[in-house]
Amino acid sequence: MNMPRMLSAMASAAAMLLAAPASAQAPVKIGFIAELSGPQAVLGQDQYDGFMLLVERNGGKLGGVPVQVLKEDSQLKPEVAVQLVAKLIEKERVSIISGVTFSNVMMAIHKPVTDAKVFLVGSLAGPSPIAGAQCSPYQFITSFQLDAAAEAHGRYANERGFKKVFLLGANYQAGKDFLGGFKRTFKGQVADEVYTAMNAPDFSAELTQVAAAKPDAVFAFYPGALGINFVRQYNQAGLMKTTPLLTQGAVDGSTLPALKEAALGAYNGAPWGPDIDNPSNKKFVEEFERKYNRIPTLFAAQSYDAAQLIDSALAKTKGNVDNKDALRAALKAADFASVRGKFKFANNQFPIQDYFIQQVATDAKGRVNLKTVATPLKDFTDDYAAKCAMK
Amino acid sequence: MSTALGAALGVKGLVKRFRGLTATDHADLDFAAGELHALIGPNGAGKTTLINLLSGELQPDAGSITYDGRDITRRSVDQRARSGLVRSYQITSVFPEFTLLQNVMLAVQSLAGHSFSFMRDTRSDPRLIEPALAALELVGLGAQAALPVDTLAHGARRQLELAMVLALRPRVMLLDEPLAGMSGAEADEMVALLTRLKRRYTIVLVEHDMQAVFSLADRLTVLVAGRPIASGTPEAIRNDPRVRDAYLGDAQELM
Amino acid sequence: MRRTIASFGPREWCACALLSALALVPVWAQAIGEPYYLSLVTRIMVLALAAVGLNLVLGYGGMVSLGHALYLGVGAYAVGILSSHGISSGWVHLAAALVVGSAVAAAVGAVILRTSGMAFIMITLAFAQMAYFVVVGLKAYGGEDGLQIDSRSDFGVLQLSSAPVFYYVVLCCLLAVLWGLSRLVHSRFGMVLQGARINERRMAAMGVPCFRYRLVAYVLSAQIAVLSGVLMANLTKFASPSYMQWTLSGELIVMVVLGGMGTLAGPVVGAAVLLVLEEILSSVKLPLPGGLDTVINNHWLAVIGAFIVVVTLTMERGLFGSLRSGRRSA
Amino acid sequence: MSLSFLFVQLLNGVQFGMLLFLLSAGLTLVLGIMNFVNLMHGSLYMVGAYAAVAAFEKTSSFVAAGAIAVSATVLVGLVVERLVLRRLYRREHLAQVLATLGMIMIFNELVRFVWGASAQSMDVPAAFSQPILLLGLPYPSYRFVVIGVGALVGIGLYILIHRTRLGILIRAAAADPAMTANMGVNVRLLNSTVIGLGAALAALAGLMAAPLSSVQSGMGEPILIMTLVVIVTGGIGSVRGAFFGALIVGVIDTLGRTLLPTLLRELLDRSLAQAIGPAISSMLIYLVMAAVLVVRPQGLFPVKHG
């Protein structure tokens, strides 16, 4: 490839950038930011599939008006995410941005998006700062604040009468928040509290500590790949049989396909499960499995709800996105049939919802799946809502 | 910066071993100020090792080196070079990506003490260019100053090598086979040049071209297995039986 | 041969075209009503600045640092931490960043410059990783989640909050650094630095202690990276540990080598090509048949990878370096 | 903290070290003999792991999976060598870094394209699925397999390098590549062999790691960094260095992770210890490497040159 050709290639590329339509009034533009490349792509893909399930069912419409969903890959790089947000807002002139996978990306884009009076309908990341002091009227989070799930675990541990629990977590903010949440509600004694480095491939050292401590149960926060490694090695160490494993992120729809039988018996906390019994959820799970032939994950469900939320709001405003107050009121009303059954927004515009404890078991179809075993938190509002100035 | 004038150099009981083999074996030598002193000896006699010890690129296992009356045994290469004890290399060692002028300018620059000048363009700095050109003229490369080194013939590179040494205003020059791989004509030029330079510097010369050595040297020292076996005027060395023995078959080469 | 005749070859034309294009971006973005391109090009220039800094040690000094993101991070967190304590003055931010950055660079450099080759690459990486873990541990400043910055540094009359102003500030920084470098390369210091790369043994034989010159060069290039970090924090109004990740150090190396190391504008070209390509492949719907466009949109990293491989194999001196220069590099 | 606990932790360290050794041994030869910075070694490890998973699903035999994975990865390695790497041997290190970095990106996306984004995994061979009781602590028996394989490879490489003709060549080349080339050795063949050997070892590492950790795109990079740490710590080009380097890094990392936080908790107050403990322990191996390099820039077991 010689230089002139190189240059001409660049030129045409630049031309292509220009070619992108600057103004298209007709459809409502929705930006969808998620991790779509690299190891984390599995999460982002789930979010996108869940969201698009509704959009495509309605023939590219939400609330009866055509929508154009612009998918962007944040690459787990905050600086890139900020760039993409700038593009979506300044270039594409979107009025709603949804998705957002990781909390560091959420923290980076939260201010620019809400400052621009663009609605941020997050369907996964829910870091504590934006649930509390930094909350914004333009944020609507359809997922949950991590601590809530942790507190559900704590309550459940009490219900089960565990006296001594060993805590493990990945060494970053979410990990610390999460173990903190557990300790708030758990009444028993904490055997030990261990934080492990991010992307630690091997947990043998920690698992030996667990075995030595002989706790009644283990509570661990390991998202994604970390979770897979942890649960496998937990099982191989023979601990799954002797010591109940309460986890967050480690055994959910995204990791079970990789874990399979290795995860049987482990517990997970979430505001949604595939077996929750309501018509909306039945429809969602069935359609999702038919369309993508895999079990929908929590992330897919929350994104599906995000789509439903936008759908309901646009229906109320007749597709008018320019009257921000009207649209905000419509979103705040959350007038849709959530896959979780009931769904309301708290003052910090995180959901008020039930939190379930699910155990990994083989379902009717003989697949390794999540089975709801308890509901330790009912109509629960996360603790950070109090710190949020909004009414 | 003392103006270039020879300084005395001497070694006492110098020893250097490489994995058992002794390259320099209790060498005692004196290089008088202003003399051209040649080191000869069969291959592997440890001539280059001695040069490396003198220049500081090797540290001796025992013994001492005195230069201009001071003990410099533990001085680093660059310290010795700054004090005027400068070497050239057997295998040409220059900066191929630069022009001849730049090569020599780099040498001139290192005389100026430090080079922490960040903005002034060296390409228009007479304080660098003039001495550099002078050195190039001296070795007869003035015309090629602007050419990049990699366009240069081998002989010319050897001359450049010498120009860089001269540009450092040395008091003692350690020349490691300056004639190596030169054509007859080139060699003659170089010999003529060295003859011109004699007296103005102390020169320690390692060279295989015996004709050149015997025509140039004020004194010779014969190294065998790292030990100086004889030292004296060309005449004395010629007639020294030990030297004949040492050189055996090479006897003819001596004549 | 006192002065070299500055005749123009493809290389010079390309450089000038690039610079004048950069100068016109805001006007053009205004004209077509696409302020977004302004922030895109701003980001390109900020990273290009860091790459130019790296080029000083990498291209001219021959020191392969796989840890320059460290200094980007120092710059970013200087802004982040100070603003989080209510200190908004840009001059304070800049001063603090440069002081801390230089101190760190001097200390680190004093250690790492004792090694060379592979060991040098790894030890630079090691220090960057350590710094990364330190920042991730800073719970008070957001830890892994990073640190929001309320408003851009306050430089008095220079209203960084205005995108075009910020753009031109970044552009001026880039041009200033490039100009400085163009002087430095031919200065005595520059000659010694390059001499040390080409033939360290001979430099020593001529009485030049290479270590201290390398150290100064390392600190200088770190300061440039720090500056770029300060700008990055202002651009994104965010300071994140990911600015310190080894992957970013790697990307900087890619930019330098891709564009052509040891050439003035090479890193800028490298950064521009890499980031524009990334932008196009990852999100622009290319007119391709058979769903190939979506495949590329999803797997654009592979295309970039292939591009890097091809350029490395076919252009020994990088995109910009391969252009014939009109000037005898004297 | 009981002695048995310490012993088991030590064992964990050794086990982790062995995994690192499998990767380092191959790469250190490539670095030392061919003076070639092959960053895509981690990608070969990933390819090996994916191949193992796929083969295990078909054959459900660990050994068969291993054989297939190794041969498949060696094939991939040789093809890449033929198409790309070979053109880089004469280039400076940076070109090699750049090109192999590009290859990493290609391979990461390739596996994502073929196997999808979600992580894969395979089960521990049935025979080793049950933990055994070790000094009163349950210990996964599979980890003994890892240690065993690592030890075997170590011995095998020792014999290969010190008892065979190829070994003589390898040692010669490691000490002085240019010289060996002049001695009329078929360097091109030697290079392919070394790359192939490296690929085989990487695949073996991938196989052993597959049951322990999630097999997914990008799994090669973190471990690659650790591998490089091992290599420079041990001394580039020295298999002995790779072996001891791997053990040192493995043990230090493991003990650091378990003992350091506990230790800090004794010294500092709990919350502070929890804040800095993990940070320091994740830094530990880098600190060690930096320290080693400052004292001995050639690493702990430098290859004798000349």
Give yes or no: residues A36 and A75 share one domain: yes
Residue D272 CB neighbours (<10 A): 12
Alpha-carbon distance of C53 to C47, in angstroms, equals 10
Alpha-carbon distance of D169 to D33, in angstroms, equals 10
More confident call, C178 vs A342 = C178
Whether residue A10 is contained in a domain is answered as no
Average pLDDT over residues D26-35: 87
Alpha-carbon distance of C65 to C148, in angstroms, equals 29
pLDDT at A98 over 90: yes
Q: Look at A78 and C277 and tell me if their CB atoms are within 8 Å.
A: no
Across the interface, of C190, C192, C201, the residue whose CB is closest to B93 is C201
Give yes or no: residues A359 and A338 share one domain: no
Q: Is C183 on the interface with B (CB under 8 A)?
A: yes
Q: How confident is the model at residue A327 (pLDDT cuts 50, 70, 90)?
A: very high
Residue recorded with tokens 């034309």: C13
pLDDT at C188 over 90: yes
Burial class (CB in 10 A: 0-12, 13-18, 19+), B61: middle
CATH number at residue A55: 3.40.50.2300
Mean residue pLDDT of chain D comes to 87
List chain A residues with CB under 8 Å of C325.
Answer: none
Whether residue A76 is contained in a domain is answered as yes
Judged by 3 or more CB pairs under 8 A, whether D touches C is yes
The DSSP element (H or E) to which D99 belongs, if any, is helix D93-115
Which chain B residue is nearest to residue C201, measuring alpha carbons? B93
Give yes or no: residues A251 and A371 share one domain: yes
Report pLDDT for B252: 47
How far is D282 from chain A, CA to nearest CA, in Å?
A: 6
Please give the sequence-ordered ranges of beta strands (E in DSSP) within chain D, or none if there are none: 131-134, 137-140
List chain C residues with CB under 8 Å of D294.
Answer: 111, 114-115
Q: Is C33 on the interface with A (CB under 8 A)?
A: yes
DSSP state of A386: G
Give the SS3 label for residue C33. Answer: coil
Task: Read off the pLDDT of residues B57-114 as tens digits, 9 standing for 90 and up.
Answer: 899 999 999 998 899 999 988 889 888 999 988 777 889 889 999 999 999 998 887 8
CB–CB of D210/D53 below 8 Å? yes
Alpha-carbon distance of D211 to D215, in angstroms, equals 9
Any alpha helices (H) in chain A, and if so which ranges? Answer: 3-19, 41-57, 78-86, 103-115, 128-131, 146-159, 173-185, 204-213, 224-236, 239-242, 256-259, 279-292, 298-317, 324-333
Give yes or no: residues A140 and A154 share one domain: no
Which chain C residue is nearest to residue A106, measuring alpha carbons? C145
* Domain encompassing residue A100: 26-144+278-345
pLDDT at A328 over 90: yes
C residues 275..314 contacting A (CB < 8 A): 276-277, 279-280, 282-284, 286, 297-301, 310-311, 314
CB–CB of B145/B153 below 8 Å? no
Three-state SS letters, A242-281 = HCCEEEECCCCCCCHHHHHHHHCCCEEEECCCCCCCCHHH
Q: How confident is the model at residue C319 (pLDDT cuts 50, 70, 90)?
A: confident
* Domain encompassing residue C63: 10-245
Across the interface, of D16, D117, D138, the residue whose CB is closest to A42 is D117
Q: Residue A250 corresponds to which amino acid?
A: A
pLDDT at B3 over 60: no
List chain C residues with CB under 8 Å of A174.
Answer: 144-145
pLDDT at A15 over 70: no
Sign of the C-alpha dihedral computed for residues D190, D194, D195 and D199 taken in this order? positive
**β C147-148/B227-232 pair status:** unpaired
Average pLDDT over residues D52-77: 94
Alpha-carbon distance of C100 to A203, in angstroms, equals 37
Judged by 3 or more CB pairs under 8 A, whether C touches B is yes
Across the interface, of D5, D213, D277, the residue whose CB is closest to A212 is D5
Give the SS3 label for residue D90. Answer: coil
Mean residue pLDDT of chain A comes to 88
- The CA R_g of chain D, rounded to the nearest whole Å, is 20
DSSP state of D210: T
Report pLDDT for C54: 97
Burial class (CB in 10 A: 0-12, 13-18, 19+), C89: middle
Task: Read off the pLDDT of residues A138-192 as tens digits, 9 standing for 90 and up.
Answer: 999 999 988 888 999 999 999 999 999 999 988 777 787 788 889 999 999 999 8
Lowest mean pLDDT, pick from A113-127, A267-281, C108-122: C108-122
Task: Read off the pLDDT of residues B130-156 as tens digits, 9 standing for 90 and up.
Answer: 999 999 998 888 888 999 988 888 888
In the complex, which subunits touch D with 3 or more CB pairs below 8 angstroms?
A, C
Task: Read off the pLDDT of residues D157-203 as tens digits, 9 standing for 90 and up.
Answer: 999 988 888 888 877 877 776 777 777 778 888 889 999 999 999 99
Which chain C residue is nearest to residue B82, measuring alpha carbons? C207
Q: How confident is the model at residue C75 (pLDDT cuts 50, 70, 90)?
A: very high
What's the ipTM?
A: 0.85
Alpha-carbon distance of A214 to D101, in angstroms, equals 45
Any alpha helices (H) in chain C, and if so which ranges? Answer: 10-31, 35-55, 69-84, 90-112, 117-137, 163-186, 188-198, 200-205, 210-236, 246-259, 266-283, 292-298, 300-314, 318-321
Best of D257, D263, D284 to substitute, by most chain A Cβ atoms within 10 angstroms, is: D257
Count of domains in chain C?
A: 1
Beta bridge partners of residue B221, listed in sequence order: B39, B231
List chain C residues with CB under 8 Å of D286.
Answer: 126-127, 129-130
For C64-96, the DSSP string reads --S-THHHHHHHHHHHHHHHHTT--BHHHHHHH
pLDDT at A19 over 80: no
List chain A residues with CB under 8 Å of C236.
Answer: 78-79, 82-83, 108
Give yes or no: residues A81 and A131 share one domain: yes
Task: Read off the pLDDT of residues B183-202 as tens digits, 9 standing for 90 and up.
Answer: 888 888 889 989 988 888 99
Phi then psi for residue C36, to 5 deg, are -60, -40
Report pLDDT for C196: 92
pLDDT at B4 over 60: no
The DSSP element (H or E) to which D171 belongs, if any, is helix D165-175
How far is D177 from chain A, CA to nearest CA, in Å?
A: 33
Alpha-carbon distance of A355 to A132, in angstroms, equals 20
Residues in chain D: 306
**β B172-176/B202-206 pair status:** parallel
- The CA R_g of chain C, rounded to the nearest whole Å, is 20
Any idea of the CA torsion for A372, A378, A379, A381, to the nearest 10 degrees? -100
CB–CB of A163/A188 below 8 Å? yes
Report pLDDT for C327: 52
Phi then psi for residue B213, to 5 deg, are -55, -50
Give the SS3 label for residue D236. Answer: coil
Task: Read off the pLDDT of residues A50-86 as tens digits, 9 standing for 90 and up.
Answer: 999 999 999 999 999 999 999 998 888 888 899 899 9
Across the interface, of C136, C236, C283, the residue whose CB is closest to A172 is C136
Report pLDDT for A13: 53
Average pLDDT over residues D248-252: 93
Domains and CATH numbers, chain B: 9-93+170-254 (3.40.50.300)
pLDDT at C175 over 50: yes
Give yes or no: residues A85 and A234 share one domain: no
More confident call, A11 vs C162 = C162
pLDDT at C328 over 70: no
Task: Read off the pLDDT of residues A219-239 as tens digits, 9 standing for 90 and up.
Answer: 999 887 888 889 989 998 889
Q: List the domain boundaries for chain D.
A: 3-125+137-295
Q: Look at C237 and A14 and tell me if their CB atoms are within 8 Å.
A: no
Alpha-carbon distance of B227 to B23, in angstroms, equals 8
Query: In angstroms, how far is the first alpha carbon of chain A from the final one?
Result: 61
Residue C32 CB neighbours (<10 A): 10
Alpha-carbon distance of C207 to A311, in angstroms, equals 76
Task: Read off the pLDDT of residues A247-263 as tens digits, 9 standing for 90 and up.
Answer: 988 888 888 888 888 89
Which chain D residue is nearest to residue C135, measuring alpha carbons? D279
Which two three-digit tokens encode residue A185? 């509600």
Across the interface, of B106, B118, B124, the residue whose CB is closest to C2 is B124
Q: pTM of whole model > 0.80?
A: yes
Report pLDDT for C156: 84
How far is C119 from chain B, CA to nearest CA, in Å?
A: 23
Three-state SS letters, chain B = CCCCCCCCEEEEEEEEEECCEEEEEEEEEEECCCCEEEEECCCCCCHHHHHHHHHCCCCCCEEEEEECCEECCCCCHHHHHHCCEEECCCCCCCCCCCEHHHHHHHHHHHHCCCCCCCCCCHHHCHHHHHHHHHHHHHHCCHHHCCCEHHHCCHHHHHHHHHHHHHHCCCCEEEEECCCCCCCHHHHHHHHHHHHHHECCEEEEEECCCHHHHHHHCCEEEEEECCEEEEEECHHHHHCCHHHHHHHHHHHHHHC
Report pLDDT for A218: 95
Beta bridge partners of residue A165, listed in sequence order: A190, A217
Alpha-carbon distance of A99 to A118, in angstroms, equals 14
Q: Is B98 on the interface with C (CB under 8 A)?
A: yes
Alpha-carbon distance of B121 to B127, in angstroms, equals 11
Which chain C residue is nearest to residue A89, measuring alpha carbons? C36
Residue A53 CB neighbours (<10 A): 20
Alpha-carbon distance of A372 to C245, in angstroms, equals 40
The DSSP element (H or E) to which A380 belongs, if any, is strand A368-380
The CA angle A231-A232-A237, to the nearest 5 degrees, is 95
Q: Over pLDDT 90: what percentage of chain D?
A: 43
Q: How confident is the model at residue C5 (pLDDT cuts 50, 70, 90)?
A: very low
How far is C305 from chain B, CA to nearest CA, in Å?
A: 31
Q: How confident is the model at residue C103 (pLDDT cuts 50, 70, 90)?
A: very high
Across the interface, of A211, A225, A233, the residue whose CB is closest to D212 is A233
Q: How confident is the model at residue D22 (pLDDT cuts 50, 70, 90)?
A: very high
CB–CB of A131/A349 below 8 Å? no
Calculate the CA D164 to chain-centre distance: 24
Alpha-carbon distance of A121 to A129, in angstroms, equals 16
Report pLDDT for B8: 87
CB–CB of C237/C42 below 8 Å? no
Count of domains in chain A?
A: 2
Phi then psi for residue D133, to 5 deg, are -85, 120
Candidates B152, B139, B162, B127; CA nearest to C2 is B127
CATH code for residues D3-125+137-295: 1.10.3470
Give yes or no: residues A95 and A234 share one domain: no
Across the interface, of C1, C180, C209, the residue whose CB is closest to B78 is C209
Residue recorded with tokens 């050595």: B213
Candidates A209, A233, A193; CA nearest to D5 is A209
pLDDT at C238 over 70: yes
Cβ within 8 Å of residue C57, ≥6 positions away: C63, C65, C214, C217, C218, C221
Phi then psi for residue B225, to 5 deg, are 50, 40
Alpha-carbon distance of D75 to C43, in angstroms, equals 41
How far is D297 from chain C, CA to nearest CA, in Å?
A: 6
Average pLDDT over residues D213-239: 89
Give yes or no: residues A228 and A360 share one domain: yes
Q: Look at C240 and A83 and tell me if their CB atoms are within 8 Å.
A: no
Candidates A218, A209, A213; CA nearest to A186 is A218
Cβ within 8 Å of residue B107, ≥6 positions away: B132, B135, B163, B164, B165, B167, B168, C206
